[in-house]
Amino acid sequence: MAIVDVVHHTDPACSWCWGLEPTLRRLQVTYGPQLQVTRRMGGIIPSLEWLVGRAYMARRARQIARYWLEVSRKVGMPIDPALWRRNPPESTWPANIAYKAAQFQDPALADRYLRRLREAALLEGRNIGEYPVLLDLAGALGLRVGALEDAIESGRAKEAFFEDVREGHRLGVAGFPTVFVRLDGREVKLEGWKPYAAYEEAVERVSRGRLERRPPPDLLSFLRQVETATTQEVAAVLQQPLARVRGRLVALESAGAIRSRRLPRATVWLAAPPRRTVRK
């Protein structure tokens, strides 16, 4: 079976990359095992202090906060700029390196970790440039924190991150997101955030239209698959109006089928854990 590789050059704190999450998830449920998403880290801010100087950092952080709200309106995903108003990260490199360290343990769990890093930064205002935060998020997901620290402190994770950066440089990656859609030597490069149709057209082009498309999934099965999703993502994947999806989600929560995490600017939905059967 031909597998289209969607290579996403990204950063955990990139607002435009957060806006790409609904598209990547819709591609994955539409094409199933015929498509895989591969992440490459880029490191969008090496050091805010190094880039702009300490005296300018506060003003720059306020500018980024306003910019994040502009991006949110453009991409349709909720974003809370509290991170830049309360405790701006001096660098996004630590989060990139932590993700590479997680890949040494379990690539699939590492991708869940990357998603959790995005939620923490862009919805919860947590500083993912601080190692205590990175380790706390990792441990809550089931990653071995000691092994993660060893990979970071030994330099192995940093070198893996630098290899991703070097690959991006070789390929001319100048910003995030940059996505390469590849199959059998054919490739389409997409630079910057674009609507879903552009990515689907790229998949169809490199596959020459030979992939089978699946219909939109059942809401509950989708949540069980991805574990967490915003209302906007559910609407995008199910291809239904936002208001209708919101009503369905609220009804399912009232029935105990799903749970929610209410945040100042977003609601994150989670599949409810299965009920335990009490044996008498």
Over residues 201-260, the pLDDT tens digits come to 999 999 999 999 999 999 999 999 999 999 999 999 999 999 999 999 999 999 999 999
What SS3 string covers 217-275? CCHHHHHHHHCEEEHHHHHHHHCCCHHHHHHHHHHHHHCCCEEEEEECCEEEEEECCCC
Residue 193 lies in a domain: no
Q: Give the domain extent around 262.
A: 219-271
Tens digits of residue pLDDT in 20-77: 999 999 999 999 999 999 999 998 888 655 555 555 677 788 899 999 999 999 999 9
Residue 278 — pLDDT band, cuts 50, 70, 90?
very low
- Residue 238 belongs to domain with CATH number: 1.10.10.10
Residue 59 lies in a domain: yes
Same domain, 135 and 48: yes
Structural domains counted in the chain: 2
Same domain, 137 and 262: no
Calpha distance 261→231 (Å, rounded): 11
Torsion angle (degrees, nearest 10) of CA 1, 222, 276, 107: 50
Tens digits of residue pLDDT in 83-130: 999 998 888 999 999 999 999 999 999 999 999 999 999 999 999 999
Same domain, 146 and 241: no
Tens digits of residue pLDDT in 121-144: 999 999 999 999 999 999 999 999
Residue 206 lies in a domain: no
Same domain, 159 and 261: no
Same domain, 136 and 8: yes
Residue 11 has a pLDDT of 97
Residue 55 lies in a domain: yes
Same domain, 136 and 252: no
Return the amino acid letter for 49.
E
Tens digits of residue pLDDT in 148-167: 999 999 999 999 999 999 99
Residue 192 lies in a domain: no
* Residue 210 near residue 225 (C-beta atoms within 8 A): no
